[in-house]
């Protein structure tokens, strides 16, 4: 069994972030700003009007890939909080992270021999479309279904298992993009920028993987519990 120390409400927020700098990516999604001094997680979350239990779930998932929330952890979180966090994350990926990578990738594409440039451009365009479709499905089908369960007004013949079985890992294709950048482009094409964009892609892939863990280990179990309650009441 993997042993690790879970973050708690008493953990100093600065210590939490320093222990895993990737957690800084999540702060803005919660509306938490830097400059929290020596305040602990509970104090910072209260000031930002953030559910500290859910915040800690996210931090533990980001920091410990083997972390599995307990049923008590999940039951203590409001579904609206989960959906809000996921929606904010979607916007971050689509409006900030992916355009940032695309901007730097376009410089490389312009300097590439045509066959390499066309391959990169086509690949990234297809990846963007896949990401957009993935998030659109969640925002327009899955999330409304969950809200209908909460309102006890579920009508669609849909279940969270359908979402789970069709849930693709959109970070997987980033590995293919990395292979193109690292293995196949001529060595003299923006070597420093290729290293920088490769690191950006690895960060995005890691962030998307954590995003997937939130959906699979928090959202899905929560909705499964909701579905059971709805069926029991019918």
Q: 58-106 pLDDT, tens per residue?
A: 999 999 888 999 988 888 888 899 999 999 999 999 999 999 999 999 9
Q: Are residues 89 and 156 in the same domain?
A: yes
**The whole model's pTM is what?**
0.89
Domain that holds residue 223: 78-232
- Burial zone of 66 (CB within 10 Å; 0-12 exposed, 13-18 middle, 19+ buried): exposed
What is the reported pLDDT for 153?
A: 64
d(CA 221, CA 213): 12
Shared domain check, 209 and 98: yes
Q: Which residues contact 171 (CB under 8 A, 6 or more apart)?
A: 204, 205, 206, 208, 209, 212
Burial class (CB in 10 A: 0-12, 13-18, 19+), 210: buried
pLDDT band at residue 155 under the 50/70/90 scheme: low
Is 207 found in the same domain as 99?
yes
For residues 101 and 201, the answer to whether their CB atoms sit within 8 Å is: yes
Question: How many domains, the chain?
Answer: 2
pLDDT by residue (tens digit) across 13-69?
999 999 999 899 899 999 999 999 999 999 999 999 999 999 999 999 999 888 999
């Amino acid at each position: 069994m993997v042993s690790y120390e879970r973050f708690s409400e008493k953990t100093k927020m600065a210590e939490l972030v320093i222990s895993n700098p990737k957690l800084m990516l999540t702060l803005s999604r919660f509306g938490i700003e830097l400059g929290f001094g020596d305040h602990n997680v509970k104090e910072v979350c209260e000031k930002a009007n953030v559910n500290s239990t859910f915040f800690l779930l996210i931090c533990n998932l980001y920091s410990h890939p083997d972390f599995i929330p307990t049923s008590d952890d999940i039951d203590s979180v409001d579904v609206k909080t989960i959906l809000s966090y996921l929606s904010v994350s979607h916007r971050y990926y689509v409006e900030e992270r992916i355009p940032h990578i695309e901007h730097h990738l376009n410089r490389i594409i312009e300097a590439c021999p045509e066959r390499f440039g066309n391959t990169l451009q086509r690949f990234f365009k297809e990846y963007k479309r896949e990401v957009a479709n993935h998030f659109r499905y969640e925002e327009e089908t899955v999330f409304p279904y969950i809200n209908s369960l909460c309102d006890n007004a579920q009508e669609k013949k849909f279940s969270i298992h359908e979402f789970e079985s069709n849930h693709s890992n959109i970070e997987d294709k980033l590995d293919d993009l990395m292979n193109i950048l690292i293995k196949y482009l001529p060595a003299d094409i923006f070597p420093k920028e290729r290293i920088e964009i490769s690191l950006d892609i690895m960060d995005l892939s890691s962030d998307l993987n954590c995003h997937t863990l939130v959906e699979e280990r928090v959202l899905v179990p929560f909705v499964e519990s909701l579905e059971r309650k709805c069926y029991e009441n019918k």
